[in-house]
Amino acid sequence: MNTSDSAESPASTQQRYEPLFDEVRAEIEKYFEPERIDLIHRAFLFGAEAHKEQKRKSGEPYITHPLAVAAIMAEMRFDMETVIAAILHDVIEDTSVSKQEITELFGEEVAELVDGVTKLTQISFETKAEAEAENMRKMLMAMVRDIRVMMIKLADRLHNMRTLGFMRADKRRRIARETLDIYVPIANRLGINAVRLELEDLGFAALYPERHRVLVEAIKKARGNRREIVDKIESSIGERLVQEGLSGLVSGREKHIYSIYQKMRRKGLPFAEVFDVYAFRISVDSVDMCYRVLGSMHNLYKPVPGKFKDYIAIPKANGYQSLHTVLFGPFGVPVEVQIRTEQMDKVAEAGVAAHWLYKTGEESSFGTHARVREWMRNVLEMQQNAGDSMEFLENVKIDLFPREVYVFTPKGEIMVLKRGSTPVDFAYAVHTDVGNRCVAAKIDRKLAPLRTPLMNGQTVEVVTAGNASPNPAWLNFAVTGKARSNIRNYLKNLKTDEAVQLGRRLLENELAIHSRSISQLSTGVVDVLLRDFKMESMDALLEDIGLGNRMAMLVARRLVPKGVATSKPARKGLKRALSRYVPSWLWGEKVDTSQPLMIKGTEGMVVSFAKCCRPIPGDPIVGFVTSGRGIVIHTENCKNLAEYRKLPEKWIESQWEDDVKGDFTVEVRVDVLNQRGVLATVAAAIAEMGANIDNVNMDDRDGRYSTMSMVIDVHSRHHLASLMRKLRSIEPVIKIVRSRG
């Protein structure tokens, strides 16, 4: 940003910049009374004075940018407060003007709009990505309160894209990518088609300038050859409408460059095949006429099966309504036809902005506004459930690409979901509580797995249970932002509870060395420790211990007064396990504990089992404290113990409870004769023994023998031994061994 050394008076600033206001004045005079125009002019003078020492990369005065944004708002017929906020949208961020100053001069409504668009510049972030995510979060939250914040930001981005040529090449590409990834989908979600299409083409030109140039030239060359066919089809459509006594305005519609490029990439088609589609739009005066014209078009040219879409009966997620059909035209060329009312056409172009642009009122634009409000409610819920700005932005991005699938509730209501959605996404779309308590689903009255992708027209029913809870595996197939954010939020809270419980057990073990328990600790000592650790509560400290971020042994030492007698039990089991790796001098009294940690198998996410050695009940085990993950359980003879020999303070002596519940994975290697049906025989024997196969890999050693590497769920070491005896009795099985770390 360049600055000018010369100081100007407010009067000279007005004289210098007054001609720049003419474009905005020309627009606002069309729909504002003089007193409102005067107030907008005052805002212009205030903004020009604030930005007077600033210039754009092009060398133009900086005020030209806010005025261009205001002109876009005025073209959409936004209210006075929005136009003023557009003129002032950069003053808080780029000048010394405060929000309070704007409130005093132009009112609180304008100040809130300006603040919503303003980036967070006073807070430092570790990475640029975090800063961008937090700024986007702030703006989206402001949008939830007032949609005009996003409209100003879209206009701001549109003018910046129009003048992007003055930026460095790397910055042009970064801004273009952000525009295509974030702002284009938002414009699409808000139904502002005109803004979306211009942002797409400008972003494409900046991101892939050579591809854009080649496509533009190819379209110019092909356009002349198409004119005759376009005229013929347009004439045929018009004549047919007249013959049948139908009224409608027919116009040819050319595909935009970016949509051509996307279709070429998505379907792997050459330009000639993509551009060989002729598109027309027919505008009529009523919904009834839409369907009558559709019938007329299907009589004129044969429809292509499966290519008809009724977005009038079932609008898109952004409220878009139209009939779409593809026909076999003359000379065998495909003809795309869109049929909609003039009102639908206005809403399709302006989306949520149609409320201001055409003064449609709440009733006529209800579809678009209702869907935008529903999306904003989802954005607010995702914000409340997200752990940080990066996670929130990820969920919003997922929600911004709405290639839809339309399904029905058991009562016949239509639900619009992202393509690829599953019954889990459907359940969360109905209500968060329905999603959290979902246990099964029926698709077209038949039970179906929760991971089943939904198809258009299906009826979906969710089966719930009062004591059910989200499954972590749902994150592998849930696709909507609302479902993913709610699942993550539940699991995050669940992990917190489990970490607190584990931390309590670990700290109790360490305190027992000093003949103490948590309940016997002095309140004063605990408060001092929490203050030193900057923690709000004892539960927060226990969670930190359970997650492995703090050592229970060190915390116990801080909590017990010096001079208190301690017991000195030996950690024989753990020493035996690590004796071959850890020098004896590393084992001191400082790592003694009173008793081993008893593993039940139901500890949840804060106690996990190492995949290198896959311990199962009955195996001698040890635990290793891992920061952020809690405790990882290994077998005593795991080869990976050697990697941790320098960290003996992080080892926890562990034992299995007498009555362990649940299934545990174990890996076995089975050598078999290479015979037909041997895998089925082995699988049947495993199922007969009450075990389950998680994964299997076949490796042909030679023409006669094969090796099966299998991951199997078993209850205990005893269960595994019985299973292996069973498999050895099968004739084609040559050898079976358990794979160890």
Question: Residues 93, 101, 234, 310: which is the catalytic one?
Answer: 93
Q: Which residues of 43-73 are buried (b: 16+ CB within 10 A; e: fewer)?
A: bbbbbbbbbbbbbbeeeebbbbbbbbbbbbb
Listed in sequence order, the residues at least 6 apart from 611 whose beta carbon sits closer than 8 Å to its beta carbon are: none
CA-based torsion, 349, 352, 355, 357: positive or negative: negative
Write the single-letter amino acid at 455: M
- Backbone torsion region of residue 479, taken as left when φ is above 0, otherwise alpha when ψ lies between -120 and 50, otherwise beta: alpha
Q: Which residue has the tokens 């092909």?
A: 222
Of 719, 519, 508, nearest in space to 598 by CA: 508
Torsion over CA of 628, 634, 640 and 642, rounded to 10 degrees? 90
Q: Which residues of 558-579 are buried (b: 16+ CB within 10 A; e: fewer)?
A: ebbeeeeebeeeebebbbebbe
Q: What share of the chain is helix, strand, coil (3-state, %, to 5)?
A: 55, 15, 30
Output the six-digit token pair for 499: 């970490």
Collapsed DSSP state (helix, strand, coil) of residue 660:
coil
What is residue 61's DSSP assignment?
B
The Cα 549–Cα 531 span in angstroms is: 17
CB 196 within 8 A of CB 188: yes
The Cα 467–Cα 302 span in angstroms is: 55
CB 118 within 8 A of CB 93: yes
Listed in sequence order, the residues at least 6 apart from 450 whose beta carbon sits closer than 8 Å to its beta carbon are: 422, 423, 424, 438, 440, 441, 474, 477
The Cα 475–Cα 483 span in angstroms is: 9
Write the single-letter amino acid at 325: T
Of 231, 244, 251, nearest in space to 298 by CA: 244
**Which phi and psi (to 5°) does residue 327 adopt?**
-120, 155
Rounded to the nearest 5 degrees, what angle is found at the Cα of 184, between the Cα atoms of 183 and 190? 90
Catalytic residue flag (residue 239): no
597-599 vs 651-656, strand pairing mode: parallel
630-635 vs 607-609, strand pairing mode: parallel
The Cα 425–Cα 574 span in angstroms is: 46
CA-based torsion, 537, 538, 542, 548: positive or negative: positive
The Cα 353–Cα 187 span in angstroms is: 10
Output the six-digit token pair for 559: 């909590």
Residue 104 class from Cβ within 10 Å (0-12 exposed, 13-18 middle, 19+ buried)?
exposed
Catalytic residue flag (residue 94): yes
Output the six-digit token pair for 429: 């779309």
Element (H, E) at 671: strand 664-673
Write the single-letter amino acid at 437: R
Rounded to the nearest 5 degrees, what angle is found at the Cα of 139, between the Cα atoms of 135 and 140? 115
Strand partners of residue 278: 335
Question: Residues 53, 75, 94, 592: which is the catalytic one?
Answer: 94
The Cα 197–Cα 203 span in angstroms is: 10
Residue 581 class from Cβ within 10 Å (0-12 exposed, 13-18 middle, 19+ buried)?
middle
Active site residues: 93-94
